[in-house]
Amino acid sequence: MGAIRTRFRKDGGLMAEPMNPLAGKAGPGKFSVREDLPPSTQYGERKQMQEIIAGAPTPSAASEPKPRIVPLTAPTERPETPLTSGMDIGEGPGSEILPNFRQSEVDIVNKYIPTLNAMASQPDAPQSFRLFVRYLQGNT
């Protein structure tokens, strides 16, 4: 039998464990214990649990759709859409077709401006942070 070491449990009691951490909880051969199944309390329960687990559907890698990767050099998938679509220059619709995220961003920044000003006014605030706050105030 291998060496045993004792150590204190969290509740203050002593706990004995094998010195070989590779041995794990289960012993070899007839002393081994299945740890992939829950412990059973009644006769036949373990076999029933094994049958349930064997019949359960398991996810497979083949069933998951893989994302389609399009190379940068591939031909366009929208030949009728101009390259400048969404821009205020060139062919196609301008920036009016884009969603207006700007207003929600401005509202968020305005919400934090008083706190950012207080932080920027601290004597140990970096100059870069002060310039950043000043930039935010000028662009909102």
Dihedral sign of CA atoms 84, 86, 92, 94 in order? negative
3-state secondary structure of 60: coil
State the amino acid at position 79 in one-letter form: P
Q: Quick check: 114 and 136 in contact, CB under 8 A?
A: no
User: What does the alpha-carbon distance between residue 16 and residue 126 come to, in Å, rounded to a whole number?
Assistant: 56
Cα first-last separation, the chain? 75
User: Parallel, antiparallel, or unpaired for β 4-8 and 14-18?
Assistant: antiparallel
Which one-letter amino acid corresponds to residue 6?
T
> Helices (DSSP H) in the chain: which residue ranges?
45-55, 102-120, 127-138
Q: Which residues, at least 6 apart from 85, have a Cβ–Cβ distance to it below 8 Å?
A: 91, 92, 93, 97
Instruction: Say if residue 129's pLDDT is above 90.
Output: yes
CB atoms within 10 A of CB 133: 19
Lowest mean pLDDT among 39-43, 77-81, 87-91, 125-129: 39-43
Answer whether residue 120 shows pLDDT above 80: yes
Tens of pLDDT, residues 62-107: 566 778 888 889 998 889 998 888 888 889 888 888 877 677 788 8
